[in-house]
């Protein structure tokens, strides 16, 4: 890969002409003349690319940005979308129209997200690449992106090389090795497929800033993104975004990340219905639905119920009650879960219960599509504000906890709080509700909210600890995760439909 020239002086590439076959035809002819194999044969994916440059009052940097887009080793459609500049940006851009640049102007400043979206809607490429008017691409940027693209890839991303006031490389990890919910590593100039870009809703400015990393989060739901061995050249100057809204400002990061997560993350709610307390189900579902109603979600959550009861009457009653609250959920699914228990002695019974719950929790994890899962056992009654408090805690901060748990007491011994921690390799049970939020090594699954991609699977190990899922929490801690108990969310635990142990 040619080394980027941080002064912005790129070597000119061979010119090409768009013929009647469009960009694909021009690209094929260009590569055949140069003796190269057309990318379509190499990658088996469409290779038409549109570069959308957006900017406002960046006239002094704009020529370098435009040249870097026009002089890619892979011919691209290039569009400049101006955001109501008051300098000579539009006049400068029009100087490149003879080289094929499409110029879109507007009389008013509508924001960079609107400018990018306007450029995309005017483009024709299968792939869309964004470039800010003060940044640049190395000559092989698009070529390197196409090299890793596969059928069904929603977007390809790479590093960012800072230049200007200081030089720095912001590298990007391979997809799946880090969580985008914690750190934004997909820069603005990722290469999106048009279908994924459209399905994700394009750029959205509800954060009040160009820092819309949620486009990558939304687009990643449509396939596996891929990392490319290239990087955008990101100019650092007095008016650049990194200077005005530094990622080093922890308070601003807390605000942006938390607000972004709450606007974008999808919530799924799930439970395993044992049928042990059939008369409790109407009350259980009513409290759950009322709690869901108070969570400030962008979209309604889905509800998945695994039915472990063999009773047809119970199933009919569940379906009837769910119909009462279908407006609270995007969809409600009642799935069969016909596992049966058999045991000899109390210890074996506990082992079988642990196996059943582990299988059920893992099945729910597979079935529920949300980014955040809320597991509520069918004998735990959640308070009205409980879901909202759990949601705010699981999405908060620069690095949110992997899981948060409500507080409830054991229905077998009301003096025990379901939760605890390891101390000197021995389990220590909570006997009283803590005054402040407490970091735990394990907690019951009665009312817990967690990030799907950041927690381990459940394993059916018992080992004498009175919480069926203790191993899940311990493995979460060993992986560096955080499980918080929230004492302000106090649930009831049902012994029977009429006898509730209150926290």
281-293 vs 312-324: helix crossing angle, rounded to 10: 30
Range of the structural domain that residue 305 is part of: 265-502
- Considering the domain boundaries, does residue 10 fall inside one? no
pLDDT at 463 over 80: no
Pair 370, 467 in one domain:
yes
Q: How far apart are CA 393 and CA 498, in angstroms?
A: 31
Q: What is the pLDDT of residue 473?
A: 76
pLDDT at 2 over 70: no
Pair 192, 269 in one domain:
no
Burial class (CB within 10 angstroms; exposed 0-12, middle 13-18, buried 19+) of 386: buried
Pair 390, 326 in one domain:
yes
| 167-218: pLDDT as tens digits | 788 899 999 889 889 888 999 999 999 999 999 999 988 765 545 678 999 9
Whether the CB-CB separation of 151 and 167 falls below 8 Å is answered with no
Pair 346, 293 in one domain:
yes
Residue 47 or 390, more confident: 390
Pair 371, 239 in one domain:
no
Pair 279, 365 in one domain:
yes
Q: How far apart are CA 484 and CA 405, in angstroms?
A: 6
Pair 151, 196 in one domain:
yes
Rg of the chain over all Cα atoms, to the nearest angstrom: 27
- Considering the domain boundaries, does residue 17 fall inside one? no
- Give the residue from 239, 232, 229, 222 showing the smallest Cα distance to 155: 222
| 61-91: pLDDT as tens digits | 999 999 999 999 999 999 999 999 999 999 9
CATH of the domain at 169: 3.90.550.10
Listed residues 244, 276, 308: the one ending a domain: 244
C-alpha angle 333/336/342, rounded to 5°?
145
Pair 163, 270 in one domain:
no
pLDDT at 417 over 90: no
- Considering the domain boundaries, does residue 169 fall inside one? yes
pLDDT at 244 over 70: no
| 365-397: pLDDT as tens digits | 999 999 999 999 999 999 999 999 999 999 998
Pair 335, 236 in one domain:
no
Pair 346, 479 in one domain:
yes
- Considering the domain boundaries, does residue 258 fall inside one? no
Pair 206, 59 in one domain:
yes
Within the chain, what is the greatest distance between any pair of CA atoms?
85
């Amino acid at each position: 890969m040619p080394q980027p020239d941080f002064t912005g002086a790129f070597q000119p590439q061979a010119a090409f002409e768009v013929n009647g076959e469009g960009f694909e035809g021009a690209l094929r002819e260009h590569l055949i003349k140069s003796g190269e194999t057309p990318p379509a044969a190499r990658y088996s994916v469409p290779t038409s690319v549109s570069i959308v440059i957006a900017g406002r009052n960046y006239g002094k940097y704009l020529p370098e940005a435009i040249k870097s887009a026009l002089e890619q080793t892979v011919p691209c459609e290039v569009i400049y979308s101006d955001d109501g500049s008051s300098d000579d940006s539009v006049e400068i851009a029009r100087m490149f129209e003879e080289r094929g640049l499409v110029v879109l102007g507007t009389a008013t400043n509508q924001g960079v997200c609107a400018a990018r979206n306007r450029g995309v809607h005017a483009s024709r490429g299968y792939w869309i690449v964004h470039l800010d008017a003060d940044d640049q691409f190395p000559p092989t940027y698009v070529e390197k992106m196409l090299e890793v693209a596969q059928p069904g890839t929603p977007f390809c991303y790479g590093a960012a090389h800072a230049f200007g006031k200081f030089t720095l490389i912001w590298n990007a990890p391979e997809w799946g090795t880090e969580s985008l919910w914690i750190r934004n590593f997909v820069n603005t100039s990722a290469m999106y497929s048009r279908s994924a870009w459209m399905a994700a809703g394009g750029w959205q400015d509800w954060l009040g800033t160009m820092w819309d990393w949620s486009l990558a989060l939304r687009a990643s739901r449509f396939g596996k993104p891929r990392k490319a061995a290239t990087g955008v050249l990101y100019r650092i100057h007095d008016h650049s975004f990194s200077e005005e809204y530094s990622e080093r400002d922890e308070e601003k990061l807390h605000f942006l990340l938390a607000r972004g997560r709450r606007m974008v993350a999808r919530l799924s709610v799930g439970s395993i219905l044992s049928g042990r307390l059939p008369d409790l189900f109407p009350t259980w579902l009513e409290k759950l639905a009322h709690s869901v109603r108070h969570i400030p979600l962008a979209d309604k959550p889905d509800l998945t119920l695994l039915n472990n009861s063999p009773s047809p009457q119970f199933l009919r009653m569940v379906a009837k009650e769910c119909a009462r609250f279908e407006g609270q959920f995007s969809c409600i699914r009642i799935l069969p879960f016909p596992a049966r228990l058999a045991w000899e002695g109390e210890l074996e019974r506990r082992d079988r219960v642990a196996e059943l719950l582990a299988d059920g929790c893992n099945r729910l994890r597979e079935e529920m599509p949300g980014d955040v899962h809320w597991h509520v056992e069918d004998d735990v009654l959640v308070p009205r504000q409980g879901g909202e408090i759990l949601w705010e805690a699981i999405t908060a901060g620069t690095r949110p906890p992997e899981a948060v748990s409500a507080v409830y007491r054991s229905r077998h011994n009301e003096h025990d709080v379901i939760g605890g921690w390891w101390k000197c390799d021995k389990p220590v049970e909570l006997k009283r509700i803590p005054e402040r939020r407490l970091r735990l090594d394990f907690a019951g699954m009665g009312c817990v909210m967690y990030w799907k991609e950041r927690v381990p699977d459940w394993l059916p190990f018992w080992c004498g600890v009175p919480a069926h899922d203790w191993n899940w929490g311990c493995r979460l801690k060993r992986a560096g995760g955080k499980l918080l108990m929230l004492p302000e969310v106090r649930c009831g635990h049902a012994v029977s439909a009429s006898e509730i142990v209150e926290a």
